[in-house]
């Protein structure tokens, strides 16, 4: 049997529509586990924990919930950087303000000039970025180039290749 750990940042999501995520209708599987703490008798508390933990493990196995620790949340934020996602507070824990990710760095795995004359860069993590506009690139990017991408205004992004002047880019994959 798997052990259940409650990390600092625990995110439990059910297969719920977005409206239900904002205001849960009833107690969650995690609420059932935490409610057991209030039971003063040791034997009854243990029975409560056993039942609630079993329900939590079953819900996880069925894919009805997802449990993420802080490291996984940061990894998901990084993987999603550059995509226009709905504004749901999915990656912030209870009582904490979600930290916005406004810059990522990586290494180019593949680079090529695309059909519009701009550059397409695929990072080692699989993120694919296309140059937007005709800003010149003095030194062509190549596999191994250091890439820094930061948010700009109005949903756009700036991409620096090996410390050169930034070019505008958009995430395509």
CA angle 71, 148, 76 (to 5 degrees): 25
Each residue's pLDDT expressed in tens, for the chain with a length of 173 residues = 333 333 323 333 333 344 334 444 456 888 888 899 999 999 999 999 999 999 888 888 888 887 777 887 787 777 777 776 555 555 555 555 556 788 999 999 999 999 888 999 999 999 999 999 888 899 999 999 999 999 988 888 999 999 999 999 999 98
Output the CA torsion sign for 119, 123, 126, 127: negative
Output the CA torsion sign for 106, 99, 87, 22: positive
Quick one: which of 49, 45, 46 has its CA closest to 30? 49
CA–CA gap between residue 131 and residue 78 (Å, rounded): 20
Contact assessment for residue 161 and residue 137, using Cβ atoms and an 8 Å cutoff: yes
Two tokens, residue 41: 């008798």
Collapsed DSSP state (helix, strand, coil) of residue 161 = strand
Q: What is the residue whose two structure tokens read 């993590």?
A: 125
């Amino acid at each position: 049997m798997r052990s259940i750990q409650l990390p600092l940042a625990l995110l439990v999501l059910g297969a719920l529509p977005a409206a239900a995520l904002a205001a849960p209708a009833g107690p969650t599987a995690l609420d059932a586990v935490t409610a057991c703490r209030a039971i003063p008798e040791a034997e009854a508390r243990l029975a409560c924990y056993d039942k609630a933990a079993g329900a939590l493990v079953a819900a996880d196995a069925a894919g009805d919930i997802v449990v993420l620790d802080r490291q996984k949340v940061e990894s998901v934020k990084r993987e999603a950087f550059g995509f226009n996602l709905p504004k749901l507070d999915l990656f912030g824990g209870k009582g904490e303000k979600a930290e916005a990710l406004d810059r990522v760095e990586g290494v180019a795995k593949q680079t090529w000039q695309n059909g519009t004359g701009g550059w397409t860069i695929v990072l080692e993590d699989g993120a694919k970025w296309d140059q937007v506009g005709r800003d010149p690139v003095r030194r062509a990017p190549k596999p191994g180039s250091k890439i820094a991408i930061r948010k700009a205004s109005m949903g756009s992004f700036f991409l620096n290749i090996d410390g050169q002047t930034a070019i505008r880019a958009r995430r395509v994959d």
